Amino acid sequence: MPGFDFSHQTDNELLATYSELMEELRQRQVIRTNNNPVADYAEKVAIESLNLSAVGKEQKGFDAVDRKGRKYQIKGRRLTRHNSSRQLGVIRNLDERLFDYLIAVIFDEAFGVKEIWQIPQAFVTRYATLSQHQNGHIFFADPNTLTTGKGVTRIL
């Protein structure tokens, strides 16, 4: 990371710094929880980019709505030099059709937005795989597959 030398910090000091950073991001409303920031930041980026309205965390199956009442499930993935997988977070209760569109936000390693995709629920259902272990469906935001999809839109 440019300008920061963490090499002399202990593991505990690094984790404490991470904790403080996460709290500052939460206070600034960049993220909503103190969990993995990728998911929360993806929600923020999608909501702002698509002019959506966030729903409460207690809402089951979707994260935002548009002016027409369409429901959006938002998932993010950060690609790194160590992991280029495009697997999004687990989608729960996919068969209940709780959202109209999945928004996939793909970040680069430094959290720059590389891609945003709007994917119809039917397309997600067709290409997602049920994972008993994770108690939900797994979906990969593979551009080769997405570009062939009816109704799939690359926003960025």
Instruction: Report residue 29 as tokens.
Output: 């409303």
* Residue 1: pLDDT over 60: no
Query: Which residue type does 36 have?
Result: N
**How much is the average pLDDT of 39-61?**
94
In the chain, where the domains are located? 37-154
Q: What is the mean pLDDT of the chain?
A: 94
pLDDT-based confidence at residue 3 (cuts at 50, 70, 90):
confident
The answer to whether residues 141 and 113 touch, using CB atoms and an 8 Å cutoff, is no
Residue 129, SS3 per DSSP = strand
| Stated pTM of the model | 0.89
Q: Is the pLDDT of residue 145 over 90?
A: yes
What is the full DSSP assignment across 53-112?
A: EE--TTSSS-SEE-TT--EEEEEEEE--SS----BPPPBTTGGG---SEEEEEEE-TTS-
Single-letter amino acid code for the residue at 18: Y
Contacts of 39 (CB under 8 A, 6+ apart): 75, 76, 89
Does domain 37-154 match CATH 2.60.40?
no
Q: Which residues contact 78 (CB under 8 A, 6 or more apart)?
A: 38, 107, 108, 109, 111
